[in-house]
A and B are shown apart, each in its own frame.
Chain A
Amino acid sequence: MSSLFHLLPRVAGDSPSEYVTHHLKHLSEPIGQGGFWTINVDSLLMAVVIGVLSMGIFWLAGRRATAGVPTKFQAFIEITIEFIDGQVRDVFHGDRRFVAPLAMLIFVWIFLMNAVKLLPVDLPPSVAKSLGFEYFRAVPTTDLNVTLAMSTMVLFLMFAFAIKAKGSLGFATELVTAPFHANGVLMKIVLAPANVGLNLIEYLSKPVSLAMRLFGNMYAGELVFLLIALLFMAGSKFMFGDDGTLITHAGGALAFLGAIIAGAGWSIFHILVISLQAFIFMILTVVYLSMATESH
Chain B
Amino acid sequence: MDPTTLALLAQIQSSTALAIGIIIGLGALGACIGIGIMGSKFLESAARQPELVPMLSGRMFLLAGLIDAAFIIGLAIALFFAFANPLLSAITG
Contacts and interface: CB of A to CB of B under 8 A. Distances in A.
Contact of A217 (B61, B62, B72, B80): B72
14 contacts: A20-B84, A24-B83, A213-B65, A216-B72, A216-B73, A216-B75, A216-B76, A216-B77, A217-B69, A219-B76, A220-B79, A276-B61, A279-B62, A280-B69
B65 A277 contact: yes
Q: Is the interface of B mostly helix, strand, loop or mixed?
A: helix
Interface string B51-93: 0000000000110111011001111110110011000000000
A223 B73 contact: no
Contact of B65 (A21, A209, A280): A280
A223 B65 contact: no
Contacts of B65: 213, 273, 276-277, 279-280
Contacts of B64: 276
A235 B2 CA distance: 35
Given A24-B83, A216-B74, A283-B62, 7 more contacts: A216-B73, A216-B75, A217-B68, A217-B73, A220-B75, A276-B61, A280-B69
B90 to A, nearest CB: 17
A212 interface: yes
A20 B73 CA distance: 18
Q: Is the interface of A mostly helix, strand, loop or mixed?
A: helix
A223 B76 contact: yes
Contacts of B62: 276, 279-280, 283
A279 B69 CA distance: 13
Contacts, number: 55
Contacts of B77: 216
B79 A280 contact: no
A224 B82 CA distance: 12
Contacts of B66: 213, 280
A213 B69 contact: yes
B69 A223 contact: no
Contacts of A215: 73, 76
Interface string A205-216: 000010011011
B66 to A, nearest CB: 7
Contact of B83 (A213, A223, A283): A223
Nearest to A227: B79
A219 B75 CA distance: 9
B84 A24 contact: yes
